[in-house]
């Protein structure tokens, strides 16, 4: 089977859904598919006249918005490589990614631009505002402003009377070309740019179009970060190719705002991270079920079913009452929450993926999902478990196929450590599979943690910063109830020499915590520091035995 072309997915959707609503900023302006086509065409003209070449890197940073989506589509359909950057990254990390990726143009949201320094990104030819596409900075000897001022003339010459579905045509771009350079981290020394070919994006979309329930005109709410592959693929790209109406939450989405949007938009499908469901369960459902009177009623046959049906109805209404299923990914769902949702018959399922697969690895429709599993291997991948008995013995999960990245940008060593000579991607996750290729994840053999919205958190980055701070000998950062805790082994020699008592040491560590957080992305910030009184246990190679501390009682 010849895979569909990714760029054709975009072009065909624009043509077929020309008069349908496409992108809306929640409680803001809306664009039809025809409006998106017009804006994309104008950006293409800008690129063409300013001699942006196919394959050039163009960075994109901002909160979810229609303009973010338009820019992404324009970059990728032109044949350039989009470099999406998480808006929560520290300015220093943004500068590093722009430079490391060899980006020549940057599109930036207004609030983010205020904190950036263009002198720290000397290779950029131009910086554009995501708010209104105006030019913020132009490099020396560039003609970008001249082109921008004549853009309407160029557009009228190319599309007399305006662009139409019949006139719309993108240059052919092979699926083998690089489409996205996605950074899993921003910090120098830790940043890894995942090189995703268009074929990875096409494989994810092709699978979703065949197996997930959406139709043209359906509503979708986008609140996961678009710079993260999970949110980008399943709240934006896949629905866009179907002809859906995508509503972007343009400000930092609290659970309250997200639920409000669900109830107003009434989405056909809900893409979520575990945190949303876990908070609803903990704050709204559990207190009700823990009442003694409710416990008694739940022990009575038939009455228990009626109560669970009401709870299901209430939970369904929270998400707008119109969805076919809730797809959970990005992190593991609390087991108690999963068991309860199964018990009440809630339409939810759990998927599994990683940035390096663009992102999907496994999924199953809610009525086919198995308790405790992360879905069934997608048909665009092969799987292998590194154990003698993959059905019963835990081993590392390895995958191979269309979804898999080319490697890490300018990092041959990291690429060779992750993708072996036979093309198997070593996920770093531990698990087993059953006879039907359902994956059951049992843990990780890498140190990476997952943030509440599925962000990749590398504790070594945080630890490297902490270990250079006063009175800290070494540290281990762990995740405790979706909060990052830093276990600190103090520099006892310095503490004793300067006669620092326990109270003062704790004050110093709190100062260290606040100072470290100033330089960390919001989702990487440390919520608490705990003194660890003895040196951390080490391997023969002097690496900390991290697994011994991941369940430390705080």
List, for residues 97-153, the tens digit of each pLDDT value. Answer: 999 999 999 999 999 999 999 999 999 999 999 999 999 999 888 889 999 999 999
Find the CATH number of the domain harbouring 490: 3.30.300.30
109: nearest Cα among 25, 38, 34: 25
**513 in a domain, yes or no?**
yes
Other CB atoms closer than 10 Å to residue 416's CB: what's the count? 12
Beta partners for 383? 399
pLDDT value at 554 more than 80: no
CB atoms within 10 A of CB 252: 12
- For residues 482 and 535, membership in a common domain is answered with yes
Could you tell me if 427 and 491 lie in one domain? no
Domain CATH number, residue 310: 3.40.50.12780
Q: How far apart are CA 247 and CA 220, in angstroms?
A: 6
Same domain, yes or no, for 160 and 286? no
Query: In this structure, is the dihedral angle defined by the CA atoms of residues 356, 357, 359 and 364, taken in order, positive or negative?
Result: negative
Alpha carbon of residue 111 to chain centroid? 20
pTM of the full structure: 0.85
DSSP 214-264: --TT-EEEE-S-TTSHHHHIIIIIHHHHHT-EEEE--S---HHHHHHHHHH
CB under 8 Å to 149, separation ≥6 — which residues? none
Average the pLDDT over 266-279 and give the result: 89
Identify the band that residue 236 occupies on the pLDDT scale cut at 50, 70 and 90.
Answer: very high
pLDDT number for residue 3: 55
**Do 364 and 315 sit in the same domain of this protein?**
yes
pLDDT at 500: 93
> Which one-letter DSSP state was computed for residue 541?
T
- Work out how many domains the chain is built from and give that number: 3
Q: What is the pLDDT of residue 238?
A: 97
6-16 vs 33-49: helix crossing angle, rounded to 10: 130
Tell me, letter by letter, the H, E, C secondary structure of 337-381. Answer: HHHHHHHCCCCEEECEECHHHCCEEEECCCCCCCCCCCCEECCCE
Cα 106 to Cα 137: distance, rounded to the nearest angstrom: 10
Strand partners, 450: 456
Q: Is residue 185 part of a domain?
A: yes
The percentage of the chain sitting over the pLDDT mark of 70, rounded to a whole number, equals 96
Least confident of 177-186, 224-233, 285-294, 378-387: 285-294
Q: pLDDT at position 193, please?
A: 95
Q: Do 431 and 305 share a structural domain?
A: yes
Rounded distance, CA 260 to CA 9, Å? 32
Residue 1 is predicted with a pLDDT of: 41
pLDDT at site 188:
64
Mean pLDDT over 247-267 rounds to 88
Summarize pLDDT for 400-459 with one digit per residue, the tens. 999 999 999 999 999 999 999 999 999 988 899 999 999 999 876 667 787 777 777 878
pLDDT (mean) for 496-507: 92
Residue 450 neighbours by CB under 8 Å, 6+ apart: 330, 331, 332, 456, 457, 479
Residues 484 and 462 both lie in one domain: yes
Whether 369 is covered by a domain: the verdict is yes
Q: Is the pLDDT of residue 159 over 80?
A: yes
Residues 422 and 477 in one domain: no
Largest CA distance in the chain: 80
Q: pLDDT for 361-410, tens place per residue?
A: 999 999 999 999 999 999 999 999 999 998 988 899 999 999 999 999 99
DSSP output for 459-489 = HHHHHHHHTTSTTEEEEEEEEETTEEEEEEE
- pLDDT of 539 higher than 70: no
pLDDT at 468: 81
Does residue 121 lie in a domain region?
A: yes
Higher-pLDDT residue of 295 and 266 is 266
Residue 213 lies in a domain: no
How many Å apart are CA 58 and CA 77, to the nearest integer? 12
Tell me how far CA of residue 180 lies from CA of 103, 215, 405, 408, 554, in angstroms: 12, 26, 10, 11, 40
Phi, psi of 466 (to 5 degrees): -60, -40
Of 197, 232, 252, which residue constitutes the final position of a domain? 197
Domain limit, last residue, from 197, 216, 244:
197
- How does DSSP assign 292-328, residue by residue? HHHHHHHTSTTHHHHHHHHHHHHHHHHTTS--SEEEE
Q: Do both 83 and 46 map to the same domain?
A: yes
Closest CA to 246 of 16, 21, 17: 21
| Residues 290, 32: Cα–Cα separation, whole Å | 48
| Domain annotation covers residue 210 | no
Assigned domain for 217 exists? no
Mean pLDDT across the stretch 41-46? 97
Q: What mean pLDDT value characterizes the chain?
A: 91
* Environment class of 32 (CB within 10 Å of its CB; exposed 0-12, middle 13-18, buried 19+): middle
| Residue range 528-536: mean pLDDT, rounded | 91
Name, in order, each residue with C-beta under 8 angstroms of 255's C-beta and a sequence gap of 6 or more. Answer: 275, 276, 279, 280
DSSP structure class, residue 434: -
Beta strands 126-129; 103-108: pairing state: parallel
Question: Do 414 and 473 reside in the same domain of the chain?
Answer: no
Say whether both 282 and 379 belong to one domain. Answer: yes
Crossing angle, helix 502-517 and helix 459-466, to 10 degrees? 120
Based on the fold, state whether residues 499 and 424 are members of the same structural domain.
no
Nearest to 364 by CA among 350, 354, 353: 350
Task: Among 147, 179, 197, give the residue marking a domain's end.
Answer: 197
Give yes or no for residue 56 having a pLDDT over 50: yes
Q: Are the CB atoms for 240 and 10 separated by under 8 Å? A: yes
How far is residue 214's CA from residue 205's CA, in Å, rounded to a whole number?
12
The encoded tokens of residue 149 equal 């001022």
pLDDT of residue 2: 45
204 and 4 Cβ atoms separated by less than 8 Å: no
Q: Average pLDDT, stretch 518-531? A: 92
Mark whether 21 and 50 lie in a shared domain: yes
More confident residue, 3 or 26: 26
pLDDT tens for residues 465-481?
Answer: 898 889 998 899 998 88
User: What would the DSSP string read from start to end of 9-39?
Assistant: HHHHHHHHTTTSEEEEETTS-EEEHHHHHHH
Please check whether residue 223 lies inside any domain of the structure. Answer: no
Helix (H, G, I), strand (E, B) or coil at 40: helix
Please state the φ and ψ torsions of residue 180, each to the nearest 5 degrees. -135, 140
At residue 172, the pLDDT reads 93
What's the CA gap between 279 and 162, in Å, rounded?
A: 49
Q: Assess contact for 487 and 530: CB atoms under 8 A.
A: yes
Cα angle, residue 510 at apex, residues 505 and 514 outer, rounded to 5°: 145
Domain with 536, as residue range(s), is: 458-548
Sign of CA dihedral 228, 230, 235, 238: positive
Contact 376, 399 (CB under 8 A): no
Closest to 69 (Cα-Cα) out of 127, 125, 14 = 14
């Amino acid at each position: 089977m010849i895979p569909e072309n990714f760029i054709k997915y975009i072009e065909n959707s624009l043509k077929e859904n020309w008069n349908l609503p496409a992108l809306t900023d929640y409680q803001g302006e809306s664009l039809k598919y025809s409006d998106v086509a017009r804006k994309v065409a104008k950006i293409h003209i800008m690129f063409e006249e300013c001699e942006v070449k196919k394959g050039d890197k163009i960075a994109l940073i901002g909160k979810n918005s229609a303009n973010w989506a338009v820019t992404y589509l324009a970059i990728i359909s032109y044949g350039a490589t989009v470099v999406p950057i998480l808006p929560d990254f520290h300015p220093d990390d943004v500068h590093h990614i722009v430079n490391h990726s060899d980006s020549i143009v940057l599109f930036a949201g207004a609030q983010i631009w205020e904190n950036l320094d263009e002198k720290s990104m000397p290779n950029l030819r131009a910086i554009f505002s995501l708010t209104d596409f105006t030019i913020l900075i132009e490099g020396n000897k560039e003609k970008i402003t001249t082109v921008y001022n004549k853009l309407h003339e160029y557009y009228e010459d190319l599309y007399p009377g305006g662009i139409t579905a019949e006139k719309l045509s993108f240059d052919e771009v092979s699926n083998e070309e690089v489409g996205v350079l996605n950074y899993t981290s921003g910090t120098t020394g830790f940043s890894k740019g995942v090189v995703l070919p268009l074929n990875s994006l096409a494989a994810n979309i092709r699978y979703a179009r065949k197996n997930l329930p959406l139709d043209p005109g359906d509503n979708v709410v986008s609140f996961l970060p678009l710079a993260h592959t999970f949110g980008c693929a399943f709240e934006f790209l896949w629905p866009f190719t179907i002809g859906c109406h995508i509503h972007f939450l343009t400000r930092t989405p609290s659970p309250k705002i997200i639920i409000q949007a669900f109830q107003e938009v009434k989405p056909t499908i809900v893409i979520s991270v575990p945190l949303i469901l876990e908070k609803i369960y903990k704050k709204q459902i559990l207190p009700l079920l823990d009442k003694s009177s409710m416990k008694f009623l739940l022990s009575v046959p038939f009455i228990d079913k009626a109560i669970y049906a009401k709870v299901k109805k209430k939970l369904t209404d929270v998400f707008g009452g119109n969805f076919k299923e809730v797809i959970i990914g990005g992190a593991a769902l609390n087991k108690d929450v999963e068991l309860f949702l199964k018990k009440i018959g809630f339409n939810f399922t759990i998927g599994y993926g990683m940035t390096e697969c663009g992102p999907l690895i496994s999924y199953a429709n809610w009525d086919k999902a198995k308790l405790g599993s992360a879905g069934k291997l997608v048909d665009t991948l092969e799987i292998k478990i590194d154990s003698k008995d993959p059905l019963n013995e835990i081993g590392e999960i390895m995958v191979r196929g269309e979804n898999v990245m080319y490697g890490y940008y300018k990092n041959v060593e990291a690429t060779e450590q992750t993708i072996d000579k036979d093309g198997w991607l070593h996920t770093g996750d531990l698990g087993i599979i059953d006879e039907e290729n359902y994956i059951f994840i049992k843990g990780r053999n890498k140190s990476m943690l997952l943030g509440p919205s599925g962000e990749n958190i590398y504790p070594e980055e945080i630890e490297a910063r902490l270990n250079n701070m006063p009175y800290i000998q070494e540290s281990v950062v762990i995740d405790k109830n979706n909060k990052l805790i830093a276990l600190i082994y103090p520099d006892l020699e310095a503490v004793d020499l300067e006669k620092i008592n326990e109270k003062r040491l704790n004050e110093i560590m709190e100062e260290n915590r606040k100072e470290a957080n100033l330089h960390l992305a919001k989702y990487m910030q440390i919520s608490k520091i705990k003194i660890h009184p003895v040196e951390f246990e080490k391997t023969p190679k002097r690496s900390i035995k991290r697994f011994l501390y991941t369940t430390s009682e705080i």
